[in-house]
Amino acid sequence: MSSLAAEAVVLDMDGVLIDTEPVWRAAETDVLAGLGIALSESDVLDSTGQPVEELIPIWRQRSPSGGAGPGAALTGASLTGASLTGASLTDAEVAGLVIDQVIAHVKAEGQPMPGVTAAIALVERCGLRLAIASSSPRRLIDAVCDRLGLGGIDVRCSAMDEARGKPAPDVYLTAARRLGVAPASCLAVEDSLNGLVSARTAGMICVAVPDPLLAADPRYGAADLVLRSLADLDDAALRRLGVPVPG
């Protein structure tokens, strides 16, 4: 592979920097159960990497009453401590309940994924700039950066601020623009198939670190490099991508 004129690394967050994908799946299942909507494992797995605000109206249409409509009454006991019995909530408010559960987990017990600290140190040693391009809202991105001590990553982009979420390329294109570099000069790191499509459509080189529950999917073959975890992102891996690594 010819040398890549890499100037930046753009990181997905959930499942790449922090192990929140199982937390998202549990929170989505929990909150939607309060609307009388039972999500299957495939529902939550297939939507990995997509903004939750885009998913709520789709999932609400699954129930005979449309999830009781945009002003649904949440009566499920799963909404612990929320005092929401009889409350009418919009799709955005339902999404907010899911996000609140994930943030609470991050603040209480969030841990970095294996290899995160070493991978970020390697990227910085190579002189590459860093950004986050996540489907999560900015308040969750900030909570994760606070928890993991990633205050040095100041370019933080949320797909919730875009017209289209992943798998559309919008959030990755915004990250490149805010970094001031061309998308082709960015190396993206993703765990989900939706994120992989997003980064590739933006024109970025892409490293996939698949979610273990999705790793057997052959579509990960579209990535330029597939790793078991960020612990495998070392000098040799970057050189395979054509990224110059200082001796």
Choosing from 12, 91, 191, 224, the catalytic residue is: 12
Q: DSSP of 202-235, one letter per residue?
A: TT-EEEE---TTTTT-GGGGGSSEE-SSGGG-SH
DSSP 67: T
Tokens of 212: 């273990």
Q: Does the annotation count 14 as an active-site position?
A: yes
H/E stretch holding 75: none
Q: DSSP of 102-135, one letter per residue?
A: HHHHHHHH--BPTTHHHHHHHHHHTT-EEEEEES
Backbone angles phi, psi at 78, to 5 degrees: -70, -20
Residue 144 near residue 170, CB atoms below 8 Å: no
CA separation for the pair 153, 244 (Å, rounded): 22
Q: Does the annotation count 191 as an active-site position?
A: no
Choosing from 14, 43, 211, 224, the catalytic residue is: 14
**Which of 46, 7, 39 shows the shortest CA–CA distance to 175?**
7
Q: Give every CB contact of residue 70 below 8 A, 6+ residues apart in sequence.
A: 57, 60, 90, 91
Catalytic positions: 12, 14
